[in-house]
C-alpha cells in the first residue's frame, strides 16, 4: 500500500528532525542527565513536529542504553517501542475523545504499571479540544501522576488550554520551519523518490507551506500525482489556483502602466479560470517584495519604481483582511486596483504641478474622475468616506493653520449676533443641486484636505461667539467633497432641520476657520445611503452625473432674536452653549 510522503519520511530519531534544534537539545540533555519531568506541553503551528518529537521522546526515555540522549534502537525496549502494538505508548486524539468519561477511563488505567517499558507515555494530541470538565478531571493527575507515567500534551491553540494545565507542564514553543530547511528536506525526499522537479518549484512549495513540513511534503505528493513528467512552476501554479511568475510580471506591468481596463480584464480572466484571487494578491505582494529585497541585497535591476511597488504592497496588505471577509472578493480587488491607479494619478499630477512652480491647492488638485472606496458595509462607494488611507501633502493646510492666528484677533471674528438670518424658501432645491454637484465632481484629494481641516474645528469648541456652531459641525459626518461643495450628514432629521435654519452662518464659520470657500449640503445619514446607492447604480449603468446650476436663493427675513437668542441657542444645542 502506498504511504503518503509525510508519513514515509517522518523522522524516527532526534538527528533526522528538521528545525526545532533548541527543543531537541533540551530534551536530549534531559534524557542524558535523567532530569525529564512528568508532563510536557508542546505548542505551535501545524506540521512543525510536535507529534513526531513526542513519539521520538517517548521511545528515547524508555531506551535501556541511550547514546547521547538518543535511543540505541537495539535493546528490548527500543524494539517494543517501535512496534505499533506497544501498549505503553498511548496516543489519544483529544478532538474525538474530549469528554469527562474518556479522561476518567484514562485515569483508571494510569495506576497500572507498564507492560513492557520503563514508562507509560500518554501523548494527547490537540489537547485544546478537551472540554472544561475533561480538563478538570485531568488536573489532579497531571499534578501528581504515578512515577511510571509521563504526559505529553500537544496543541496548535495554546490560548484554549487553561492556565492551571499550562502551569503544571514544561512548555516548549515550536517555531515555523524556515523555507531554506524545508527546501533542503524536499530535495532529499525528491532524490530518494526519484522525483524530477525544478528548484523553483521547491522554493514555491516552501513559501506556500508557511513553515509546516507536513504541508510541504503533502504539496510535493500532490504534484507527483498531477504530473508524470518533470514538475515545473506552471504545474504548481495550475494545481494551486495561482499564476506563474511570468504572468505576475505581466500583471504588474499592466498595473504600473495605469491600464485599468486591462487590469479588470485580467482579474476577470483569473476568476473565470478558477484561480484563487486572494492567493494571487498574496503572490503579488511577495513577488514585489522579493524584487525590492533583491534590489537592495543583490543590486538587481528593477522593472518598476520602488515607491510604486511599496505603495501597492502597503495598500494590498492594509486591505487584505477586508478582502478575505468580503462576500465578493473579486469586486473588492477590482475596486482596490482602481483606487490605487487613480490615487497614483492624483499624486503624480500634484508632483508635476509642484515642479512647474504652481501652488498646490484644493482647486488645482482636482481630477475629474470618480474615486471608489469600500465602506463599512462592504458596498462600493464613489467617494472617500470618513477616513483616508493615504496622506496627501497640501501646502494650503499650512496657510489654513496660519489663518487661525488671524482668526484669534477680535476684528477677524464673525459677529454672529449682528448678522441677519434668512429663511430660504427654496432651500430643499438648493440642497438637492449641491448633493448632485458634489457627487458629480467628488475628488479624493479634496476630501483629504477637508478631513484635515475638519479636525481644526476642535480649537474653537469653547469660543464664546461660535462655539455652538463649531460643536454642531463636529457632530456631523463629512461624506464627500468637491471643488465647490461638501456634504455633511446627521443621524436625526431634527438635527438637519435645526442646522439648515442657519445654514449661511454654518457655512460662514466653516469657511472662515478652514480658509476655504465651500457651499455646504446638510442631509440625513439615511439620505446619504440612498444617494450613494443611486450613484452606484448610475455608475454601473454607465451614466454620469451632470453639473446643474444652483438656483438663486429665495428667502424671507426673520427676526434675528428668534434664532440667535441665548434661550433658542440652548433649545437647539443643549448645554454645550455657555451662557454668562
Q: Between these two residues, 380 and 171, which has the higher pLDDT value?
A: 171
Least confident segment among 20-34, 189-203, 347-361: 347-361
Name residues whose C-beta falls within 8 Å of residue 109's C-beta, 6 or more positions apart in sequence: none
| Nearest C-alpha neighbor of 58 from the set 121, 135, 136 | 121
DSSP state of 156: S
pLDDT grade, residue 122 (50/70/90)?
Answer: very high
What is the rounded distance in angstroms from the CA atom of residue 260 to the CA atom of residue 128?
48
User: DSSP secondary-structure letter at 158?
Assistant: G
* Residue the block writes with cell 495506576: 111
Question: pLDDT band at residue 367, thresholds of 50, 70 and 90?
Answer: very low
Does pLDDT of 376 surpass 50?
A: no
- The predicted model gives 420-430 an average pLDDT of 72
HSE of 553, CA atoms in CB hemisphere, 13 A: 12
Q: Flag the least confident range among 36-50, 133-147, 557-571.
A: 557-571
Q: What confidence tier does 347 reach under pLDDT thresholds 50, 70, 90?
A: low
Residue 567 pLDDT level (bands cut at 50, 70, 90) = very low
* DSSP result, 295-313: HHHH-PPPSS-HHHHHHHH
Domains, the chain, ordered by start: 5-173 (3.40.50.300), 179-239 (1.10.8.60), 245-346 (1.20.272), 395-576 (no CATH)
Sheet holding 39-43, edge to edge: 89-93, 120-125, 149-155, 39-43, 170-173
Average pLDDT over residues 449-470: 79
Q: Which of 145-149, 450-454, 554-558 has the highest mean pLDDT?
A: 145-149
Q: What DSSP character marks residue 197? A: B
- Averaging pLDDT over each range in 100-109, 174-183, 488-497, which range is the top one? 174-183
In this predicted model, which residue has the larger pLDDT, 417 or 170?
A: 170
485 forms beta bridges with 519
Binned at pLDDT 50, 70 and 90, residue 535 comes out as: confident
351 pLDDT more than 60 = no
Model pLDDT, residue 400: 41
pLDDT at 41 exceeding the cut of 80: yes
pLDDT at site 285: 92
Q: Are 433 and 487 in contact (CB under 8 A)?
A: no
Amino acid at each position: 500500500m502506498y504511504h503518503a510522503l509525510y508519513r514515509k519520511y517522518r523522522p524516527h530519531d532526534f538527528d533526522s528532525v528538521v528545525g526545532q534544534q533548541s527543543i531537541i537539545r533540551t530534551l536530549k540533555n534531559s534524557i542524558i542527565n535523567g532530569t525529564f519531568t512528568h508532563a510536557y506541553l508542546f505548542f505551535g503551528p501545524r506540521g512543525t513536529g510536535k507529534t513526531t518529537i513526542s513519539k521520538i521522546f517517548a521511545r528515547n526515555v524508555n531506551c535501556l542504553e541511550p547514546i547521547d540522549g538518543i535511543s540505541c534502537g537495539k535493546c528490548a525496549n527500543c524494539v517494543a517501542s517501535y512496534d505499533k502494538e506497544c501498549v505503553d505508548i498511548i496516543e489519544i486524539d483529544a478532538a474525538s475523545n474530549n469528554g469527562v468519561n474518556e479522561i476518567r477511563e484514562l485515569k483508571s488505567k494510569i495506576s497500572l504499571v507498564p507492560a513492557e517499558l520503563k514508562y507509560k507515555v500518554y501523548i494527547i494530541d490537540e489537547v485544546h479540544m478537551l472540554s472544561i470538565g475533561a480538563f478538570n478531571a485531568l488536573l489532579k493527575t497531571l499534578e501528581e501522576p504515578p512515577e511510571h507515567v509521563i504526559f505529553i500534551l500537544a496543541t496548535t491553540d495554546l490560548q484554549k488550554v487553561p492556565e492551571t494545565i499550562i502551569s503544571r507542564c514544561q512548555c516548549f514553543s515550536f517555531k515555523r520551519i524556515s523555507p531554506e530547511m524545508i527546501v533542503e528536506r524536499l530535495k532529499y525526499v525528491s532524490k530518494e523518490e526519484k522525483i524530477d522537479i525544478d528548484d523553483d518549484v521547491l522554493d514555491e512549495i516552501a513559501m506556500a507551506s508557511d513553515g509546516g513540513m507536513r504541508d510541504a511534503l503533502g504539496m510535493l505528493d500532490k504534484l507527483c500525482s498531477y504530473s508524470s513528467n518533470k514538475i515545473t512552476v506552471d504545474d504548481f501554479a495550475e494545481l494551486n489556483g495561482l499564476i506563474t511568475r511570468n504572468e505576475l510580471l505581466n500583471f504588474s506591468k499592466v498595473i504600473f502602466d495605469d491600464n485599468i481596463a486591462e487590469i479588470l480584464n485580467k482579474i476577470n480572466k483569473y476568476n473565470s479560470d478558477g484561480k484563487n484571487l486572494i492567493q494571487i494578491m498574496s503572490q503579488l505582494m511577495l513577488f514585489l517584495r522579493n524584487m525590492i529585497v533583491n534590489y537592495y541585497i543583490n543590486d538587481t535591476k528593477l522593472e518598476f519604481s520602488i515607491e510604486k511597488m511599496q505603495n501597492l504592497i502597503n495598500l494590498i496588505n492594509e486591505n487584505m483582511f477586508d478582502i478575505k471577509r468580503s462576500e465578493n472578493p473579486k469586486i473588492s480587488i477590482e475596486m482596490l486596483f482602481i483606487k490605487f491607479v487613480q490615487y497614483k494619478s492624483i499624486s503624480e499630477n500634484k508632483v508635476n504641478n509642484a515642479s512647474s512652480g504652481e501652488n498646490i491647492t484644493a482647486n488645482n488638485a482636482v481630477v475629474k474622475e470618480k474615486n471608489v472606496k469600500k465602506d463599512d458595509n462592504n458596498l462600493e462607494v464613489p467617494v472617500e468616506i470618513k477616513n483616508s488611507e493615504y496622506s496627501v501633502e497640501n501646502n494650503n493646510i499650512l496657510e489654513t493653520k496660519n489663518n487661525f492666528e488671524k482668526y484669534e484677533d477680535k476684528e477677524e471674528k464673525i459677529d454672529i449676533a449682528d448678522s441677519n438670518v434668512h429663511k430660504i424658501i427654496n432651500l430643499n432645491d438648493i440642497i438637492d443641486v449641491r448633493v448632485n454637484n458634489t457627487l458629480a465632481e467628488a475628488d479624493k484629494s479634496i476630501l483629504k484636505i477637508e478631513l484635515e481641516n475638519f479636525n481644526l474645528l476642535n480649537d474653537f469648541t469653547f469660543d464664546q461667539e461660535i462655539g455652538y456652531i463649531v460643536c454642531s459641525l463636529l457632530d456631523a459626518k463629512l461624506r464627500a467633497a468637491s471643488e465647490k461643495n461638501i456634504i455633511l450628514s446627521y443621524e436625526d432629521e431634527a438635527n438637519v432641520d435645526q442646522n439648515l435654519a442657519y445654514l449661511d452662518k454654518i457655512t460662514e464659520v466653516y469657511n472662515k476657520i478652514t480658509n476655504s470657500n465651500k457651499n455646504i449640503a446638510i442631509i440625513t445619514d439615511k439620505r446619504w445611503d440612498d444617494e450613494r446607492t443611486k450613484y452606484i447604480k448610475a455608475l454601473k449603468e454607465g451614466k454620469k452625473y451632470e453639473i446643474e446650476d444652483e438656483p438663486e436663493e429665495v428667502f424671507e427675513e426673520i427676526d434675528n432674536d428668534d434664532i440667535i437668542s441665548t434661550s433658542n441657542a440652548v433649545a437647539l444645542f443643549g448645554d454645550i452653549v455657555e451662557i454668562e
